[in-house]
Amino acid sequence: MIGKSYFLLSLLQVGLLQEWKCYTPSEVTAQEGSCVQIRCNYSYPLYLANQPRVGIWFNSKEQSSSSIAFHSEDHNQEASQFHDRTRLSGDLKDGDCSLIINNVRKEDTGPYYFRIEFADKNRYSFYPVTWLQVSAEPSQEWKGDTPQNVTAQEGSCVQIPCHYTYPSCLQTHSRGGVWFNEEKGRSLIAFHSKDHRHEMPRFRNRTRLPGNLKDGDCSLIITNIRQEDTGPYYFRIDFDNGPSYSYHPVTWLRVSDAPQNLSMTFPGMINSSSISITEGNSTVIICSVESFPASNLTWRHLNVTVNRTRSNNELWLVIPHVTSRDSGDYQCVAENEHGAVEGSITITVQYSPRNITMTSPGMINSSWINITEGNSTMIICSVESFPASNLTWRHLNVTINRTRSNNELWLVIPHVTSRDSGDYQCVAKNEHGAMVGSITITVEYPPRKTMVSISGSSGGIREGSNITLTCSSESVPPISHYTWFRVKGNTSTQLKTSIRTLSFTPVTRENDTNFYCTVRNPLGNSTSNVTHLDVQYKPEISQESVCTHSSEGTTCVCVANSNPPGDLTWHLPNANISGNQTQGRLVLWRVRDGHLVTGSLILLGPQDEEEVTATCLVRNQHGEVMFKVYLWVIETNSNKWPVGSLAAGITISVCVAGILVFVCVRNAWSERCCRCFEELTHRHTDKPDDLLYTNINLLNLPSNGGTAHVSEGMEYTQIRFQRN
């Protein structure tokens, strides 16, 4: 009665407290050779009430596989010293975790504690431990006498003979007897002498004791035998205020029949036709059947026998590490001499994406493909997974195609362009994980955007510098051949070079022309733009610079060659004049033609004697040059046209070579005379040795351009100044 109240109180606490608690004694004493019960009741949060669970008793203060005294799910995990000697007296679902140890031994002495593990990973170990003390009283005082096997026909009545002895010191104690029927690792109460309400419903009103417990008669009668009554039975005597003792070995009750009620169960599932398991986990499927004599059981998968037992009504299928290859239908076949029965269960293995592949027409699972621009292509991404994966195609970190819950996704590009080049990722994802595959698309196309670039030309191309022309082009595959051309006028000349660069070391003004290149790859060719090599140099006075005289006056022409064309300015005593204009008797004009700039200074006459100094200055960003002329006019008798004489004295000094050059050209002159002085130099200088001096006297000359005769017998028409 006290035990009953204790058990009900524990259940009430389970419902109200909704927390992890356990009630076990701090110490229990047992006699060697007898059995002992360590009473245990536990509570847990209510939301776990329907969760499958596993109860474990440890014979140690620390958790260790070698110290497991009892395991409710797998007896193979129990330490060898406890095999076939431990069980639970109650049902874990009722909060009853009491441990029975049969045939207690001296080495059973030590600490014991209970651990509960729920299927959703909730686990709890209950402390403090219970210390089991084993006394040395001889075990011969406890004896039981029961048959090993009893056979019965379905619907009949059967008696299991039983007689027990116990220590004499317990003769005056009140006692009660309990018969247990072991079923699938659990001890079910078939008969309870003190309270029939503890009996399993299927045994109520069908079990009784024909004798008297005080006489040691513990025989059990079961009426209306059923197939589910088949199994092992054993008897336990409970003394009030004393020990309890369970008598073993058990008696096996067998009901003759063909196999029936075949069932397949695994943790968390009772007799289902299919189960789903995550890859990597382990599983156990138990095939059981009711039959007598016991059936031979066989597990088959894909028509292959994977496990077999003879004369046993239960067969475990253990898969310690589930893989996708374990998916499929499994058949359990049970047969005995009276017949056979078969059951089937489907295992579905869930796993994360794997074996991702990408294929294209003409290609099987490669990491790259080449496509000619303008063509179409299709790439298929496929993956293995369960449940099916969501697939996504990405290019340049942008999603371009997506599907949900499908293990295949097509990427279609109807018209390939160079923008479609690059890496493509196929991402497969389900609830168990993700996987990424990659493929590189290379778009091939003929050369384009061909151009010529100039290096070493910062600030313009200077004559004498080193210049390199580089031919570049976009193409896949790369350019296989280069050809250079020079253009002069309408003529294009191929140069003897086949590399992508053309070098000028140094560049000269003769290289001032147009160039272009052509390129070729296996898909075609292309021509670059025409590039002008604009070679720049400082101004130089041309040999075409002259002074001439006509009837209208004296004309000096200054011609300079430079790139870029120079800026020409005439410098007079009272003014600096550029461009085209007239000031008094002076007329100036300037013309640019390509790299040449030409400036003209005209001194109109006749006039009084007057000296005029004029300087032609030409400059660009690379330098400057001067052309200086001294002019004066002597007035003659305007009413007469005598024949004068022209006398010239020439002194020439050149700073480097000291070479005198004087050119006199015959021509008809007008009616005035002048004396001219010219200085020619690339840069302005005051050094007298750099000057070219000329003195000229002009008299009245025929106005019709005829020959003028002077007294000395000399004739002159024109003076040209030039630099050697």
- Per-residue pLDDT, 650: 25
Please determine, for residue 362, whether its predicted confidence score (pLDDT) is greater than 90: no
Strand partners for 110:
132
Is 34 exposed, middle or buried, given 0-12, 13-18 or 19+ CB atoms closer than 10 A? Answer: buried
Q: For residue 715, what pLDDT is reported?
A: 29
Distance (Å) of CA 118 to CA 51, 126, 359: 6, 14, 46
Q: How high does pLDDT run on average in the chain? A: 80
Inter-residue contact 35 to 86 (CB < 8 Å)? no
Strand ranges inside 373-480, DSSP E = 377-386, 390-395, 398-403, 408-413, 422-430, 433-455, 461-462, 467-476
Provide mean pLDDT across the span 597-614: 74
Place of tokens 């045939």: 103
- Which residue type sits at 492? S
Categorize the per-residue pLDDT at 487 as very low, low, confident or very high, splitting at 50, 70 and 90. very high
How many CB atoms are closer than 10 A to CB 519?
A: 25
Which pLDDT belongs to residue 218? Answer: 94
Interval 615-622 mean pLDDT: 91
Identify which has the larger pLDDT, 366 or 55: 55
pTM above 0.75, yes or no: no
Residues whose CB falls within 8 Å of the CB of residue 297, separated by 6 or more in sequence, listed in order:
287, 289, 308, 309, 312, 313, 314, 315, 332, 333, 334
Per-residue pLDDT at 681: 35
Omega before 539 within 30 of 0, i.e. cis? no
Percent of the chain with pLDDT over 70: 81
Residues 6+ apart with CB under 8 A from 201: none
CB 393 within 8 A of CB 409: yes
Angle (CA) 670 676 680, round 5° = 135
710 pLDDT higher than 80: no
The structure tokens listed for 313 are: 């009504």
Would you state the structure tokens that stand for residue 669, as one six-digit string?
Answer: 């002159």
Rounded-to-integer distance, Cα 180 and Cα 88, Å? 11
Query: How far is the C-alpha of 565 from the C-alpha of 591, rounded, in Å?
Result: 11
Radius of gyration of the CA atoms of the chain, in A: 61
Which of these ranges, 139-143, 217-221, 587-591, 624-628, has the smallest mean pLDDT? 139-143
The pair of structure tokens assigned to 12 is: 């009430």
Count Cα atoms within 13 angstroms, Cβ side, for 247.
29
Instruction: Give the model confidence (pLDDT) of 265-316 as tens digits.
Output: 887 776 678 899 999 999 999 999 988 788 999 999 998 999 898 888 999 9
User: 711 or 330: which carries more pLDDT confidence?
Assistant: 330
Higher pLDDT, 611 or 721: 611
- Over residues 505-509, the mean pLDDT reads 92
Q: 615: closest CA among 653, 696, 558? A: 558
Q: Which of 231-240, 550-559, 702-711 has the highest mean pLDDT?
A: 231-240
Encoded tokens for 183: 């079923």
Residue pLDDT, tens place only, 57-89: 999 888 888 899 999 999 999 999 998 889 898
602 vs 178, more confident: 178
- pLDDT the model gives residue 311: 83
Is the predicted pLDDT of residue 8 greater than 80, yes or no? no
CA 695/CA 673 separation, integer angstroms: 10
Q: In the predicted model, is pLDDT for residue 189 greater than 90?
A: yes
Which DSSP string corresponds to 451-509? EEEEES-TTSEETTS-EEEEEEEEEESPP-EEEEEEEETTEEEE-S--SSEEEESS--G
Beta pairing, strands 130-135 & 27-31:
parallel
**Residue 373 near residue 418, CB atoms below 8 Å:** yes
**Domains, the chain, with CATH or none:** 2-135 (2.60.40.10), 142-255 (2.60.40.10), 257-349 (2.60.40.10), 360-443 (2.60.40.10), 463-535 (2.60.40.10), 538-720 (2.60.40.10)
pLDDT tens digits, one per residue of 683-698:
333 333 333 333 333 3
pLDDT digits (tens, 9 = 90+) for 526-562: 999 999 999 999 999 988 888 887 777 788 899 999 9
Segment 697-720 shows an average pLDDT of 33
In this prediction, residue 206 has a pLDDT band, given cuts at 50, 70 and 90, of very high
Residue 606's pLDDT is 58
| pLDDT, mean of residues 192-219 | 92
Of 214, 203, 238, 198, nearest to 100 by C-alpha is 238
Task: Tell me how far apart the alpha carbons of residues 212 and 159 are, in angstroms, rounded to a whole number.
Answer: 15
pLDDT in tens, 619-645: 998 999 998 877 654 444 333 222 222
* pLDDT more than 90, % of the chain: 49
C-alpha dist (Å) from residue 53 to 57, 91, 268, 499:
14, 11, 8, 80
pLDDT tens track for 442-485: 999 999 999 999 988 777 899 999 999 999 999 999 999 999 99
Spatial CA neighbour of 450 closest among 479, 491, 492: 479
Which stretch of DSSP H or E encloses residue 15?
Answer: helix 2-17
pLDDT in tens, 28-40: 988 887 778 899 9
Concatenated DSSP letters of 638-693 = TT--------EEEEE--TTT-----EEE-----S-EEEEEEEEESS----GGG-EE
Beta strands in 528-661 (DSSP E): 531-532, 535-541, 546-550, 553-563, 567-572, 575-577, 581-583, 586-593, 596-604, 610-620, 623-634, 648-652
Mean pLDDT of the region 143-170: 85
Per-residue pLDDT band for 388 (boundaries 50, 70, 90) equals very high
By the 8 A CB rule, do 36 and 96 touch?
no
